[in-house]
Amino acid sequence: MYLCANYNDINMSSKVRVRFAPSPTGPLHIGGVRTALYNYLFAKKHGGDFLLRIEDTDQTRFVQGAEKYIVEALAWCGISPDEGIGGEDRGNGPYRQSERKPMYREYAEQLLAADKAYIAFDTAEELDAMRQMAKDAGASNWQYNYITRGNMKNSLTLPKEEVDAKIAAGEPYVVRIKLPRDHEVRLEDTIRGWVSVNTNNMDDKVLFKADGMPTYHLANIVDDHLMGITHVIRGEEWLPSAPLHVMLYEAFGWECPTFAHLPLLLKPDGPGKLSKRDGDRLGFPVFPIDWKNDETGETASGYREFGFFPGAFINMLALLGWNPGTEQEVFDLQGLVDAFDLSKVSKSGAKFDFEKGKWFNQLYLRDLSEVELAQELKNVLDNEGLSYNEAHLGTIATMMSERATFPKDLLEEGRFLFETPSVYDEKTRNKKWSDASAPMMQDIAHRFNALPDFTSEAIEASFKGYLAEKELGFGKVGPSFRLAVTGRGMGPSMFTICAVLGKDEVLARISKAIKVLG
RNA sequence: GGCCCCUUCGUCUAUCGGUUAGGACGCCAGGUUUUCAUCCUGGAAAGAAGAGUUCGAUUCUCUUAGGGGUCACCA
pLDDT in the model for residue A425: 92
> Can you give the distance from the CA of residue A202 to the C1' of nucleotide B7 in angstroms?
27
A354 and A399 fall within a common domain: no
Classify the phi-psi angles of A491: left when phi > 0, otherwise alpha if psi is within -120 to 50, otherwise beta.
Answer: left
Q: What CATH number is associated with residue A404?
A: 1.10.8
CATH of the domain at A506: 1.10.10.350
One domain, residues A280 and A359: yes
What confidence category does residue A63 fall into, taking pLDDT thresholds of 50, 70 and 90? very high
Does residue A140 register a pLDDT over 90?
A: no
Catalytic: A276? yes
Say how far A324 CA is from B22 C1', in Å: 15
CA of A360: nucleotide with nearest C1': B25
Query: Could you report the per-residue pLDDT of A301-322, keeping only the tens digit for each?
Result: 999 999 999 999 999 999 999 9
Residue numbers 83-142 of A with CB closer than 7 A to any atom of strand B: 122-124, 127, 140-141
* Residue A351 included in any domain: yes
Strand B nucleotides within 7 Å of a protein CB = 1-8, 10-15, 22-26, 34-38, 67-75
Residue A428 Cβ under 7 A from any strand B atom: no
Residue A20 Cβ < 7 Å to strand B: no
d(CA A484, CA A511): 9
Q: Residues 292-351, chain A: which have Cβ under 7 A from strand B?
A: 319-321, 323, 325, 327, 329, 344, 346-351
For residue A315, the domain's CATH number is 1.10.1160.10
Number of structural domains (chain A) is 3
For residue A79, what is the DSSP state? -
Question: A332, A349, A364 — which closes off a domain?
Answer: A364
| pLDDT tier at A13, thresholds 50, 70, 90 | low
- Percent of chain A scored above 70 by pLDDT? 99
**Residue A325, nucleotide of least CA–C1' distance:** B14
Q: How confident is the model at residue A12 (pLDDT cuts 50, 70, 90)?
A: low
Which ipTM value was assigned to this complex?
0.96
**What is the mean predicted confidence (pLDDT) over A438-452?**
94
Q: Is residue A438 in a domain?
A: yes
Domain that holds residue A316: 276-364
CA A412 to chain centre: 26
Among A252, A251, A209, A258, smallest CA distance to A229 is for A258
Whether residue A396 is contained in a domain is answered as yes
Position A329 in a domain: yes
Q: Closest nucleotide (CA of A351 to C1')?
A: B11
Which residues have CB under 8 Å from A188's CB, separation 6+? Answer: A4, A5, A6, A194, A195, A258, A259
CA of A274 to C1' of B51 (A): 37
Cα torsion for A46, A96, A29, A80, to the nearest 10°?
40
pLDDT in tens, A182-204: 999 999 999 999 999 999 999 99
List the A401 CA – B37 C1' distance (angstroms): 9
Q: Among A15, A22, A73, which Cα is nearest to A44's?
A: A15
CB contact set of A354 (below 8 Å; sequence gap of 6+): A268, A282, A283, A284
pLDDT for the residue A490? 93
Q: Are residues A304 and A336 in the same domain?
A: yes
| Residue A481 and residue A448 share a domain | yes
Q: Are residues A360 and A322 in the same domain?
A: yes
- CB contact at 8 A, A499 and A455: yes
Task: Measure, in angstroms, how far nucleotide B64 C1' is from residue A120 CA.
Answer: 43
CB neighbours (10 Å) of residue A347?
13
Within A 174-193, residues with CB less than 7 Å from strand B: 174, 192-193
Instruction: Please name the nucleotide lying closest to A243, CA to C1'.
Output: B4
